Amino acid sequence: MEKTQLIEAMERIVGKEHVLHSPEALYEYSYDATPGHSYMPDVVVSPGTTQEVSEIMKYANAHRIPVYPRGSGTNLSAGTAPLKGGIVLLMLRFDKIIDVDLENLIAEVEVGVIVQDINDHIAQYGLIYPPDPGTVKTASLGGTIAENSGGLRGLKYGITKNYVQGLEVVLANGDIIHTGGKNVKDVSGYDMTKLFTGSEGTLGIVTKALLKLLPAPEATKSMIAVFDSIDDAGKAVSGIIAAKIIPATLEILDNATIRTVEDFTHVGLPVDADAILLIEVDGNPVVVEDEKAKVLEVLKANNAREVTLAKSAEHKAQLWTARRMALPCLAKLRPTTFVEDATIPRSKIPDFLRIVTKASKDHNVTIGTFGHAGDGNMHPTIVCDLRDEDEMKRVHDAMDDIFKGALALGGTLSGEHGIGLGKLPWMEQQHGKEGMNAMKAIKRALDPNLILNPGKLLGEC
């Protein structure tokens, strides 16, 4: 069909002021935070109501036009890149926190709301919404639902999926459905809420969500531990869990990351250390003191060379500079940054880090690794130059070693960023042909014309 017809149709539905189609605008929405994926859409449409989303979907479905839901575009798997042209569906006008139900500890929130804004709003009630991806200050709720985002508190508090209790979703055919609800226990029908959460916009357009909230922890205690051996650091991680302590945060940085951060920040990090662990326990003040003491014992028993306890919030912020600056510093090294999120069972962290180090050497690429040690969600971060074809070949080979290595350790391709386009080549290896067929059957059942974020997560269906 003619592009002008499409634009006019969209303008009729949402109003002229909410439709973009200048070359500049289209370019702006041709990519997200993932390097190497830029595809021009035909139009960028910002609906303001669920009904408008429904009308857009009916039109798109009738005319077989691809639709890509998008929030802030911070995702790291090319999840919002408009691979096959069509409509970028910008959901940022869905920007209301509709209700906070204090009796049932449930918030009703539209998908365009920024995740940090939810937490800022509910702080007055002493409540938290735990999922905290690195992009918490910029990512929209909808994006984190589509990608089932994790973050630093995943081990103790779980990830986005654990807090999404209900959804309003517009299906490919324009049908509006409501899944789940405020009920803690609910086994009426298939768990559609969990199916849509993490489906990367390939099964429906989420417009609203019911989010479970938690009481904020009363106390926290943070510390940093330095290790001469990655094996000892790994053993300390397993040892903490084996001591029946579930820290709110349990992060690891490898030597390459430590050195890079120190080069840029000069905060005095131990550049000869093999690994640093950052640990925070939280909860009841008495328990926190008790757990702190037990963690210190485990760290000592596993040869931590140095442990520093945070004396204040400022001191914690200072100690945690290394973690906060890990990605920005690594990204400064070279023009292009791939933040991967291969994840392994936590007992396999040292094995996995050895695989990463070997891949880095074998293929001569620079990789710094940091991540969420408590849940085995690692971020091997490859810095390179997208314009260097030879280097990109080596980057791909290194990724291949890393992903296959993670799968061989019983891991998964993605702990929190999603599959999108980048990890498609390894999907069949993880899920088998039969597993892929089952997922593709579900995709085709809910989106028979394959217009919802086509080509993502499952590849061609």
Closer residue to a copy of itself in complex, CB, 186/262: 186
**Cβ contact 74:139 at 8 Å:** yes
Residue among 279, 137, 118, 284 nearest 213 (CA)? 118
Residue among 64, 104, 99, 103 nearest 84 (CA)? 64
DSSP 227-241: ES-HHHHHHHHHHHH
**Cβ contact 264:326 at 8 Å:** no
Q: Is residue 105 classed exposed, middle or buried when 0-12, 13-18 and 19+ CB atoms within 10 A define those classes?
A: middle
Closer residue to a copy of itself in complex, CB, 312/445: 445
Shortest reach from residue 423's CB to a copy of itself, in Å:
7
Shortest reach from residue 341's CB to a copy of itself, in Å:
8
Shortest reach from residue 274's CB to a copy of itself, in Å:
21
Strands ordered across the beta sheet of 19-20? 19-20, 43-45, 87-90, 67-70
State the pairing for strand pair 87-90/67-70: parallel
Residue among 411, 439, 456 nearest 77 (CA)? 456
Amino acid in the structure at residue 170: V
How many other C-beta atoms are found inside a 10 Å radius of the C-beta of residue 62? 12
Closer residue to a copy of itself in complex, CB, 52/416: 416
Closer residue to a copy of itself in complex, CB, 85/350: 350
Closer residue to a copy of itself in complex, CB, 101/306: 101
**Cβ contact 224:276 at 8 Å:** yes
Shortest reach from residue 36's CB to a copy of itself, in Å:
20
Structure tokens at 43: 């139009």
Closer residue to a copy of itself in complex, CB, 123/441: 441
Shortest reach from residue 52's CB to a copy of itself, in Å:
17
Closer residue to a copy of itself in complex, CB, 103/314: 103
Shortest reach from residue 334's CB to a copy of itself, in Å:
27
Shortest reach from residue 449's CB to a copy of itself, in Å:
13
Closer residue to a copy of itself in complex, CB, 270/345: 345
Shortest reach from residue 254's CB to a copy of itself, in Å:
19
Q: Collect all residues with Cβ–Cβ distance below 8 Å to 300 and sequence separation of at least 6.
A: 307
Q: Quickly tell me which residue has 């250390």 as its tokens.
A: 273
Quick one: how far is CA 431 from the chain centroid?
20
